[in-house]
Amino acid sequence: MRNYKMTIQYDGGRYLGWQKLPKSDRTIQGKLEKVIGEMCKGDMKIIGSGRTDAGVHALGQVANFKADLDMSPHEIQEYINHYLPNDIIVADIEQVDDRFHSRYNVKTKDYEYHIYTGEFQSPFYRKYSWHIKESLDMDAIDLAIEILQGTHDFLGFSSVKKSKKSTVRTLHSISYKQEGPLLTFVFTGDGFLHNMVRILMGTLVEVGQHKMSPQDVKNVLGTKVRADAGITCPPHGLFLSAVHY
């Protein structure tokens, strides 16, 4: 059995997220397992680096599967992409060490969030960015970013109710760049809780709108109460951009 690592890109707009669901074929994992299973002539289980929610996109999702195939990686890639819907693509595939595990071996992940700041939403970015036309106080956002970076319990910035698992994560950096009307934030961390990036982004926007202060952000790290944080921003501006091993 050979172990194959795939880098996958997808437009998540019409899907219910990454994870396969028993009563729906509208998942990324489900689409991939169907095509790869047909290629291997049997049931197939692929392992993703993590889940993305409904409506969230990926530029660099990673998954692996094991199979005994008499095909080159390029031939496998051609087969999979031929039968996948055109909003999912295997951008790269390679044979890797048998011990490689796309989820357990992750060191860091990068998520991007796109905000469109023009007065009117662009027809070309409308499916991939959150439209906010009022100006944001970036100095206030910078202060909030300084507070959020580092190792903290991010329970208050997640949709996790109660968990026996640790909700402590290390957020290595939050950066942003403005290119014309498109404002892109990049979150790099060792792992992210459910809805964590979307809540962090919603919180930073509210800080930029003076609906919250940087001190409010610090307080959420202390109270760990979801209601104290900002809104959960829309999914369509979020991209899993890279997974690092």
**Which are the catalytic amino acids?**
53
Contacts for 187 with CB less than 8 Å, ≥ 6 apart: 110, 111, 112, 113, 171, 173, 174, 197, 200, 201
DSSP 172: E
Rounded CA-CA distance 220/205 in Å is: 15
Rounded CA-CA distance 120/24 in Å is: 36
What are the DSSP calls for 95-137, one per residue? EE-TT--TTTT--EEEEEEEEE-SSS--TTTTTTSEE--S---
AA identity, residue 63: A
AA identity, residue 46: I
Rounded CA-CA distance 10/58 in Å is: 5
